[in-house]
Structure 1
Amino acid sequence: MTCGTEAKKTYLEQARGRRGRLPVGEGKMETPDGPWAWCVLGASMVTYAMTLGFPSAIGIFYTDLQNSFNATNQETSWFPSIITAVLHAGGPLCSIMVERFGCRITVMVGGLLCGIGLVSSSFSQNIIHLYLSAGIVGGLGLSLGFQASVTVLGYYFIKRRTLANALAATGASIGMALWPLISQYLLETMGWRGSFMIFGGILLNCCVCGAMMRPVKAPPAALGKDPSSSMHNGTSGGVTELEQRTGIQRYMAFDLLLRHRRYQIYTIGVTWMVLGFVLPLFYLVPYATSNGIEETTAALLLSLIGFVNIFARPVAGIVSQHKIFSGKLIYLFSCAVVLNGLSNLVCAASASFPALLVYCGLYGVSMSVIGALVFHVLMEIVGMKRFPGAFGLFTILESVTLLVGPPLAGYLVDLTGKYNLVFYFTCIAVSSSGLFMLIASYIIDRKEKKSSQKPVNISDGKANDSHKNVIYRPAIQENCTQA
């Protein structure tokens, strides 16, 4: 600890230079799991609410956008698909910015881009302008804000990382509950153009949240290994395993995709899942209104999903910390994915209001478990040292199916005129991905269990440990120096 303190002091003295100034963001270093970590968690919750909640409310504007630009369902569907795809595809760029500038600057830049994109979109004269402004510029801002908030929690929380991720995900639930209600009110009073201008101002508050994400220093255990790493916050510090990788592998872990069996299964499964997972958020309101339900009531259905998430996500996070799920979170996650897919059969079979209420309840509960675990399972699979690169590739692959899914559904509606076919499609895509992850993970566990039961040479003192599954060992103190 003394060595780490002296190294930090020497670094600061050198960094001040002749003018006695500190590098940007390094005047105050925070400790993981300290009091300020909970303030950062609060800022992340608000960021989640703004960045992840907004895309869920686009369905409120679906019909108005279609009428305003005289567009088909397929053309209108490109807007939500672009904004959600860019939101997820910004992973590598976010990793670069976090490494160079830290999470604080990255989130603030994201908030600025959101404001510029949404305000400029309110002046769109055709749907292409909407794609470029709110879709690409605004989506990139959402991506930087959201993904940097995901990363910062991994370094600020060690002992309570699962709970922190679940609570932060609750922010997305609050956003999902409030954005549809706000959107419906603004749409009725100001139209979609005025609403988007107001949204730009709201999303600028991501800059305030980003300002709270101070740099974080390494815990005592890490200081003993590399004293200089105590200053590493994405802008300076010791050389880490992440920095030793060069080129594209540093931000997109293709080596894991080629050789890491569990990462392969999880990435393929989630990528296939999101092909249909987000479609109900875009098509539930048009589906309900086309079957005689008022727009205000249809907007309440989206809010109901959000309200269910508010209470279910923290419960999912707490339950997942039970020792019975230790090393088995992938099974809990896969079962939730299967349930989420099957719930769409209720919506597809009947468009009555009671049936839609039941659907929203089932979809909301299963979505809560998925949202609470999706990034934590990835952290457990690869560890925090490889998380930035694994996360970057993971989100890039997700963005491909996110970009394709809504337009395919829109084309299906244009071709048949039936919205319920979208929910059948969602059921097939999501359920099959959950079954794939469940069965493939079980097969790997069986193989590893059999290999562990093979006779070993007693003379090999470490033989009993060589077969253990280290892939799911939580990365408790892995590279906790970057924020």
Structure 2
Amino acid sequence: MAPQQPSSMEEQSGELCEPESEELEKQGPGPPSNANAPDSYDAPDGGWGWVVLLATIIVLALTLAFPSCIIIFYLDLQKEFEATNSQTSWVPSIMTAVLHAGGPLCSVLVDRFGCRATVMFGGVLSGFGMAVSSFSHSIVDLYITAGVITGLGFCFSFQPAVTILGHYFVRRRPFANAMSSTGTALGLSTLPFLCDFLKIELGWRGSFLVLGAVLLNCCVCGAVMRPIRPRKPRKTNEINNSPKTSDKKGCMLGICQSLASSLRQQMAFDLFCSNTRFRVFSLGITWMMLGFVVPLIYLVPYASADDMDPSRAALLLSILGFVNIFVRPPVGVLFSLPWFKGRHIYVFSAALLINGLSNSICCISASFPVLLVYVLTYGLSMSVVGSLMFTVLMDTVEMSRFPSALGLLSIMESVTLLIGPPLAGFLVDRTQLYTYVFMACTIIVVLSALFLMFTFYWLDSRDAAKKDSPAKPAINISTDCQYSSVPIDGDKTNKPSSETENTTCV
């Protein structure tokens, strides 16, 4: 049955992720005005959704692209704190890992406070973390401020923005996801220039302070993410009228149990065990992340080690961003065509395979022309991978379980994202060569692409075989049959040889 159409634009925009208390405040005292109204409305696929899409693009530009652009200060941090490659690489590694690992906690905040408030809180937290990191006196201080605090703020801004976008667009969802993924490209194309300019003018400490102010723009983006459907009404109000306990230990225990229950719900362990496709996709993406972002972290140090000018090295990242900006929108339009429905995973795997093979280009030379070819090839394949990642996940699970599935996938990714760059730094410290890093990334990403491609092909072939297999004929039982039941325990004389029911046809 089609949902009831709202009578005004305010009802159509409704509540999507806002807390229940806010909805009750809007209703005012007394019973709800429309108790039989449906809990959700059709996604607008436009309208205010375009504003939300623009805000999501900016949020992704300030969050997902930031850890890669912080590499502009890699050599400055290494000299300032006299750290090794492995120690310095922990800063963007922790930032990226926390960005993904905070998914379950972010889902709890979204359920309690809504997407809008969570995005705004993430902007404040990330800006505060970067501002405080400018006063760091050791590399460990950067791990906490720029790594943990800023990364957690990125998580609180990034994941709710992606979630609410999925509710605003259904028919145009592949196009919306592709357009939102250009935010990462926008950040990669602009932030390196900004970071390089700030480093020359203010040094790395002044740059971190200014970048903290820039990250506060996530608050503005979160403010326009208006919810779209109402929350379910409260079942009863009797819980609020119950007497409050004075036992502090019992109160704390209840809070901890509630938090643990929410985390179990948001981690989607049941979905991981029951949904084979989601399990395969999660394992493949987790393995992929071990080598997917490492080339971006070591591209600028690799070029600088070959005496390339830092500005030209930063230009490589900007070119990578511009390639994504111009490629992702047409890719989103192309993959929105009906023919690609059900085939997104194969296009994603093929692009991931090309992306992994492109890392081997860096092994030829560290000259600007060679690295330019690498950046163009890597950027083209990265555009397709970034455009389809969320689309494939939405195709794999139901939209109602997407936030919890994204939370579990994010925390799985965080493990490999955390250990990947330090392992690469350890390899550089031992060999003094960056080429081994790019060779290792080639092997890792190629293996993950082949795993996803062949496993999903096997699953599709198995499902097709089940559909094509003839159904078993039903057993027809004649209507003129006499049924004799199994005798009870007290009947000692008539004991059948079998305990099953006997059917005798006349």
Question: Shared fold (TM-score greater than 0.5)?
Answer: yes
**Compared with structure 1, are the counterparts of its residues 125 and 263 closer, same or farther at alpha carbon in structure 2 (3 Å cutoff)?**
same
Q: 1:238 to 1:415 in 2, by over 3 A?
A: farther
Cα contact 2:108–2:263 (8 A) shared by 1: no
Q: Does 1:147 align with 2:159?
A: yes
Match of 2:444 in 1: 429
Normalising by structure 2, we get a TM-score of 0.81
Counterpart contact for 1:231–1:238, Cα < 8 Å: no
Letter in 2 for 1:430: V
Q: Rg larger in 1 or in 2?
A: 2
Q: CA deviation at 1:315?
A: 1.8
Q: Which amino acid aligns with 1:375?
A: F
Cα distance between partner residues in 1 of 2:465 and 2:211: 56
Report the alpha carbon displacement of residue 375 of structure 1 after superposing the two structures with TM. 1.0
Alpha-carbon distance in 2 for matches of 1:433, 1:106: 33
Compared CA separation, residues 331 and 122, structure 1 to 2 (3 A): same
Separation in 2 of the partners of 1:112 and 1:387? 26
Aligned to 2:29: 17
Cα deviation 1:188-212 (Å, max 9, x = unaligned):
1111111100000000010011000
Q: Report deviation, 1:329.
A: 0.6
In structure 1, the residue corresponding to 2:28 is in which secondary structure? helix
2:201 to 175, 182, 189: 189
- 2:331 corresponds in structure 1 to 316
Contact 2:43–2:167 under 8 Å retained in 1: no
Equivalent residue, structure 1, for 2:103: 91
Q: Deviations over 1:55-77 (max 9, x none)?
A: 12122111000001110111001
Q: CA RMSD in A?
A: 2.5
Residue type matched to 1:100 in 2? R
Q: Give the corresponding residue for 2:48.
A: 36
Relative to its length, the structure with more helix (as a share) is 1
In structure 2, distance between residues paired with 1:74 and 1:171: 29
Partner of 1:45: 57
User: Out of 410, 421, 441, which is 1:406 matched to?
Assistant: 421
Using the TM superposition, give the Cα deviation of residue 33 of structure 1 relative to its aligned residue in structure 2, in angstroms.
2.4
Structure 1 residue 238: deviation in Å?
A: 7.9
Structure 2: distance between partners of 1:262 and 1:287: 38
Q: In 1, Cα distance between the equivalents of 2:235 and 2:214?
A: 38
Letter in 1 for 2:91: F
Q: Which residue of 1 aligns with 2:114?
A: 102
Q: CA deviation at 1:281?
A: 1.1
Partner residue, 2:171 = 159
Change (3 A) 1:416 1:164: same
Unaligned runs of 5+ in 1: 19-28, 218-229, 461-483
Q: Where in structure 2 are the equivalents of 1:224-239 lying within 5 Å?
A: 230-232=230-232
Deviations 1:304-360 (A, max 9, x none): 110000011112211211222111111010111110000001112221211111100
Label 1:375 to 1:178 Cα distance change in 2 as closer, same or farther (>3 A). Answer: same
For residues 257 and 95 of structure 1, the distance between their equivalents in structure 2, rounded to whole angstroms, comes to 17
C-alpha distance in 1 between matches for 2:294 and 2:352:
14
Residues 429-479 of structure 1, C-alpha deviations (whole Å, 9 max, x = no match): 11110000001111111111222221114769xxxxxxxxxxxxxxxxxxx
Question: What residue number does 1:131 align with?
Answer: 143
Output aligned runs, 1:194-205, within 5 Å. 194-205=206-217
Question: 381, 396, 405: which is aligned to 2:411?
Answer: 396
Residues 14 and 321 of structure 1, relative CA distance in 2, 3 Å threshold:
closer
Greater alpha carbon shift after TM alignment, 248-257 vs 340-349: 248-257
Where does the alignment leave 5 or more consecutive residues of structure 2 unmatched?
16-22, 31-40, 237-257, 476-506
Listed as ranges, the matches of 1:218-229 within 5 Å are none
Instruction: Report how far residue 32 of structure 1 moved.
Output: 3.0
Which one-letter code corresponds to 1:270 in the other structure? I
SS in 2 for 1:141: helix
**Residue matched to 2:492:** none
Q: Give yes or no for contact 1:249–1:389 (8 Å, CA) kept in 2.
A: no
Secondary structure of the 1:32 match is coil
1:59-112 CA distances to partner (integer Å, 9 max, x unpaired)?
211100000111011100111100000011111111111111111000000000
1:412 Cα offset (Å): 0.2
Distance 1:426 1:103 in 2: 35
State how far apart, in whole Å, the 2-side matches of 1:348 and 1:250 are: 45
Please tell me whether residue 256 in structure 1 is matched to residue 264 in structure 2: no
CA distance, structure 1, for counterparts of residue 215 and residue 88 of structure 2: 23
